[in-house]
């Protein structure tokens, strides 16, 4: 059953926020909006489920709460919103935020055509499209889904808060003369966590200058198989920390972040690492290469290629202190200038006002 959450605000324009349950960065994105703009708007959050009951409940919410705007996140929420627009008698404006251009990533041609058709269907019901990366904008235009969108990338704080870490984690991170390499994300095939295990095994066979500790933050269906592989290969330098509330506190004590997924929207873990001046090594895929520029703000390497990953890690660790300082400073400035959360919230608020009160708010493109 879809879940309903609302913030305790009154006398504010009500916005219905549709998103998928527990969908990583998509959910983080929604959390940021509610936290950052909750003083201006009353948000009613609804986890989409494509059922008749869910659709009727959502339709009731729209009328009972005098919803002024629907903001849908991701493909399932997009489909849900389009169905609502078809059958709702007085549907408010619909704003879509695309997270990762799903329709361009389907390898099965039938699935790709189906997703593209659904995304194009009933497009006149969509008041505005938002993309979170330049790659998404290009992909959706090439697929003929949109002609115009507004780019509002994910954002992070450039002054993150820190909290004390549990003793067992602090012990790992304070190992003297050890390099700490973190990876953050769901332990599922799309994120390629098995390559971190393969990398650790390869380094064990072909050691680098200093011992390396691998810190895996996240959980998912691959957790137990990954642990079993580590045990089989006798890898005692891989630490599975599960979900962690203090990711920034961990990253500040890590020497590198590896983000080696097959495809992405615009990953928060990379943004957070760059904001903390933690050097980033990422797979060269859309989303990642929108923010990581090779040898300038981090390092990119071919996805699903162990030798490429090993060589890139080695090159990164062999970088001189002066060059490393130059790269991390450039990465921090990239976040400060283009991905600060306050800037993104201001741009989104402008679009909300434009759609809720079109007579008062002229069409603008806040981040163009």
The DSSP line for 204-272 is HHS--SS-EEEEEEB--TTHHHHHHHHHHTT--SEEEEES-S-HHHHHTT-SEEEE--S--S--HHHHH
Identify which of 291, 279, 352 has the alpha carbon closest to the alpha carbon of residue 155: 291
Residue bearing the bigger pLDDT, 3 or 255 = 255
Let me know: does 338 contact 368? Beta carbons within 8 Å: no
* Domain edges within the chain: 4-155+340-356, 167-338
Assigned CATH for 4-155+340-356:
3.40.50.2000
Alpha helices (H) along 40-122: 52-64, 75-87, 109-120
What is the structure's pLDDT at 1?
43
Count Cα neighbours of 44 within 13 Å in the Cβ-side half-sphere: 22
Let me know: does 114 contact 149? Beta carbons within 8 Å: no
pTM: 0.89
What is the structure's pLDDT at 367?
47
Identify which of 248, 239, 320, 308 has the alpha carbon closest to the alpha carbon of residue 278: 248
109: pLDDT strictly greater than 90: no
What is the structure's pLDDT at 220?
93
Three-state secondary-structure class, residue 79: helix
Let me know: does 99 contact 74? Beta carbons within 8 Å: yes
- Among 22-31, 160-169, 282-291, the range with the most confident prediction by mean pLDDT is 282-291
Let me know: does 261 contact 304? Beta carbons within 8 Å: no
Sorting pLDDT into bands at 50, 70 and 90, what band is 284? Answer: very high
Mean pLDDT of 134-151: 83
Mean pLDDT of 121-140: 83
Sorting pLDDT into bands at 50, 70 and 90, what band is 243? Answer: very high
57: pLDDT strictly greater than 90: no
> How many angstroms from the chain centroid is the CA of residue 295?
23
CB burial of residue 356 (10 Å; 0-12, 13-18, 19+): middle
What is the structure's pLDDT at 85?
83
Mean pLDDT of 172-183: 93
Sorting pLDDT into bands at 50, 70 and 90, what band is 295? Answer: very high
Sorting pLDDT into bands at 50, 70 and 90, what band is 122? Answer: low
Let me know: does 151 contact 101? Beta carbons within 8 Å: no
What is the structure's pLDDT at 24?
78
Alpha helices (H) along the chain: 24-37, 52-64, 75-87, 109-120, 134-142, 167-173, 194-205, 223-232, 247-251, 268-275, 288-291, 306-317, 321-338, 341-356
Instruction: Tell the CATH superfamily of the 167-338 domain.
Output: Glycogen Phosphorylase B; (3.40.50.2000)
- Contacts for 19 with CB less than 8 Å, ≥ 6 apart: 26, 27, 30, 45, 46, 47, 48, 72, 73, 74, 77
Mean of all residue pLDDT scores within the chain = 87
Let me know: does 181 contact 203? Beta carbons within 8 Å: no
Q: Do domains 4-155+340-356 and 167-338 have the same CATH topology?
A: yes
Sorting pLDDT into bands at 50, 70 and 90, what band is 111? Answer: low
């Amino acid at each position: 059953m879809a879940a309903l959450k609302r913030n305790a605000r009154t006398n504010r324009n009500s916005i219905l926020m549709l998103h998928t349950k527990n969908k990583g960065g998509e959910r983080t994105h929604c959390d940021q909006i509610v936290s950052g703009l909750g003083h201006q708007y009353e948000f009613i959050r609804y986890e989409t489920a494509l059922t008749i009951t869910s659709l009727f409940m959502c339709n009731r919410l729209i009328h009972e709460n005098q919803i002024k705007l629907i903001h849908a996140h991701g493909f399932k929420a997009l489909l849900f919103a389009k169905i609502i627009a078809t059958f709702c008698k007085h549907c408010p404006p619909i704003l879509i935020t695309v997270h990762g251009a799903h329709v361009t990533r389907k390898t099965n041609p039938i699935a790709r055509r189906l997703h593209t058709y659904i995304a194009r269907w009933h497009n006149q019901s969509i008041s505005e499209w938002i993309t979170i990366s330049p790659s998404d904008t290009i992909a959706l235009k090439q697929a003929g889904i949109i002609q115009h969108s507004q780019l509002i990338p994910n954002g992070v704080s450039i002054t993150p808060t820190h909290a004390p870490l549990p003793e067992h984690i602090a012990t790992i991170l304070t190992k003297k003369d050890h390099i700490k390499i973190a990876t953050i994300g769901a332990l599922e095939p799309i994120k390629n966590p098995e390559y971190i295990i393969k990398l650790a095994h390869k380094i064990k066979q072909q050691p680098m200058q200093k011992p390396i500790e691998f810190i895996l933050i996240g959980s998912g269906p691959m957790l137990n198989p990954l642990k079993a592989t580590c045990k089989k290969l006798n890898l005692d330098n891989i630490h599975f920390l599960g979900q962690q509330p203090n990711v920034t506190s961990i990253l500040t004590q890590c020497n590198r972040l590896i983000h080696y997924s097959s495809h992405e929207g615009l990953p928060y873990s990379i943004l957070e690492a760059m904001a903390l001046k933690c050097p980033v090594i990422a797979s060269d895929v859309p989303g990642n290469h929108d923010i990581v520029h090779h040898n300038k703000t981090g390092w990119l390497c071919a996805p699903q290629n162990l030798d490429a990953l090993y060589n890139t890690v080695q090159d990164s660790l062999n970088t001189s202190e002066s060059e490393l300082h130059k790269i991390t400073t450039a990465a921090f400035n990239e976040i400060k200038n283009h991905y600060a959360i306050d800037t993104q919230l201001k741009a989104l608020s402008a679009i909300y006002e434009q759609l809720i009160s079109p007579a008062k708010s002229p069409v603008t493109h806040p981040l163009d």
